[in-house]
Amino acid sequence: MSNAGLPRSFVRCWWMCGRRARRNKRRCTSFVMRSRKESDKHGMSHRISASKPLGKTRPRLAWPVMGGLIVVGITVGYPLLMLLLQSVFPNLMRGSLEGMFRPYAELWAMEGLSQMWVNSLACGASATLLAWVLGTSAGWLLARTDIPGKTWLRVSLLIPVMSPAYLLALAYVLIFQPNGLSEAWGIPAPDWMKSAFFSFGGVVMIMTLTTFGAVALLVESALLGISTRMEDAAQCMGTPPWRTFRSITLPLLLPALINAGILVFIDSVSNFGIAAILAPRANLPLLPEVIYEQLTTWPVNLPLGSALSTILAVTAMGMVFISQQFLATRASVNGRIPAMRLTPLKTRGKGLGWLFFGVLFLLSSALPVAAVVYMSLIGKWHGGSPAFTLEHYANLFKEGSSGWQALSTSLLLSLVAATLCVVVGSMVAYALARHRGRLVAFLDQLAVLPRIVPNLVVAVALILAWNVPWSPLPIYGTVGILLLAYVALYQATALRFADAAMHQITPKLEQAAACLGVSRWRILWGIILPMMRPSLFVAWITIVIMCLRDWVASIMLLPPGVQTVGSFIFNQFEQGDFAQAMAMTVSTVVLSTVLLVVTNLNFYRKVF
């Protein structure tokens, strides 16, 4: 650019300003260099730069990483390692490495193993397909149509998701068993329906009813992130609706469907409640039932049980890995929620939609809850008609009774375990968000294992890890093993909530406090924890409810002379005292609901 035509005074002023700017830059550079030399001379550190975010600098305090590795390693890593070693070296507990891979050779020669494996895979695959069909239909109605009452419809989907699977299994067994509740209600089920329920089809039905709600909610969330513009363009070009769905919507929806399908399949294959209650009555041996028999039936075969558990864990982890590799090459939709056009439904369409949700709600929630409550109120039968009473609830809450001890023990363990899970989850989440390195990456992979490995496998691993002569902590056979199991199983839930909260907290707040001379501990206590408190509170309540309704750990790791809610229900049902078992089930559901509502109304309103 030429300076011709500009006033001489303007050109001189512009040149002088540039000269002064260059001189000031040289002075600032020399000042910074002198300051760094002085700080090095006096031993001061200047590693932290204001231009770098705190989360990507070299950490000065590594206690969250080391603490997380120690806790997660003890609760998750060490038990799973012992499970793998025990399945390879069956004499490891005796201090010998003889008989390597002998448990797997016994599995190969085990009679009926192939049929049991086929049954488990077939049940899981069938339940996944049905959950896909029902969940995709329900999710599409919620996300793509103007069906009224969507809030209540979502609640109807959440109820079976939050209900334990053994609740549905218990209820339907009571309904369809000989002289069951169907006869008592005056609606006797046909013989073909009873035969169909106590078979492969009944097991698949219960697995589907407990999982389709989660698929529907995931599909709805995915559809809300997919714009309808491409679908509208395809319809304008005369493309049939089924082809539009197959060519446009389904490929974009595939990641959500695969993730939901993996969760449904793993939950169905490893579900201990259905395998223990319904599968034996259906004469359908499943993998969780066989694992339980190997660990509880004399002669106890720990190596064989560990080999079966290892196969189940490897299957689950392999499916997750394959799905991640497949989804890495698929298209995804991210960013803002797009504006979309809802498909208007006519009166008939809205009625059919509500009928669809109504049938699902009846089968997954209303009918099982009615059966459980009805059975808990039955005292004796007089001339074919029941006499209703509250005696079972009175016996349950009688001080000193086995039911009262089970309820109080479960509640105490749930409160303590939820608190420990929140502490561990917060520490691990802070380490993952504010530190980098190979140890942090390893901690991240180790902490998410409880989300992938079935709960039954974790329970077996805890038995093998702490029922050894060299155990430093003699907690096996005490209440401590139950507490450790709850922490191992549900700390990943606390980590999920805490990690989401940490990603919403900018490191600039910590940088500003550090520049003012605030210590790291005061930053954590005064800035980080108050901002994480809402998420941690929700995590605490969720884990308390999950521990109260726990079934696997309460049965597999039950110490002598101790009763929990899960073990009490299981034992009473196996002994034929159905009314007492149902009374405990209703009490647990009511207690969980009251705990959630009261805490939200009081604590959440005052604190947040």
Residues 6+ apart with CB under 8 A from 368: 163, 167, 168, 171, 172
d(CA 174, CA 368): 9
363 and 209 Cβ atoms separated by less than 8 Å = yes
Q: Which amino acid is at 194?
A: K
Q: Which amino acid is at 432?
A: L
* Lookup: tokens for 439: 């140890």
Query: Token pair 């509880």 is at which residue?
Result: 296
d(CA 171, CA 166): 8
d(CA 152, CA 140): 16
Q: Which amino acid is at 130?
A: L
Residues 370-390 pLDDT 10s = 999 999 998 776 555 677 888
For 301-353, the DSSP string reads: -HHHHHHHHHHHHHHHHHHHHHHHHHHTTS----SSPPP-PPBP--HHHHHHH
* Lookup: tokens for 207: 């697995």
101 and 88 Cβ atoms separated by less than 8 Å = yes
Beta strands in 360-512 (DSSP E): 378-382, 385-388
Instruction: From 433, 453, 457, select the one nearest 443 (Cα to Cα).
Output: 433
**Would you state the pLDDT for residue 102?**
86
* Lookup: tokens for 593: 């609901």
336 Rama class: left (phi>0) / alpha (psi -120 to 50) / beta: beta
User: Is pTM beyond 0.85 here?
Assistant: no
Identify the burial level of 60 via C-beta atoms within 10 angstroms of its C-beta, where 0-12 means exposed, 13-18 middle and 19 or more buried.
Answer: exposed
d(CA 87, CA 104): 8
Helix (H, G, I), strand (E, B) or coil at 474: coil
For the chain, domains (ranges, CATH) are: 65-100+395-607 (1.10.3720.10), 117-380 (1.10.3720.10)
pLDDT under 70: residue ranges of the chain: 1-61, 328-340, 381-385, 596-608
Helix (H, G, I), strand (E, B) or coil at 382: strand
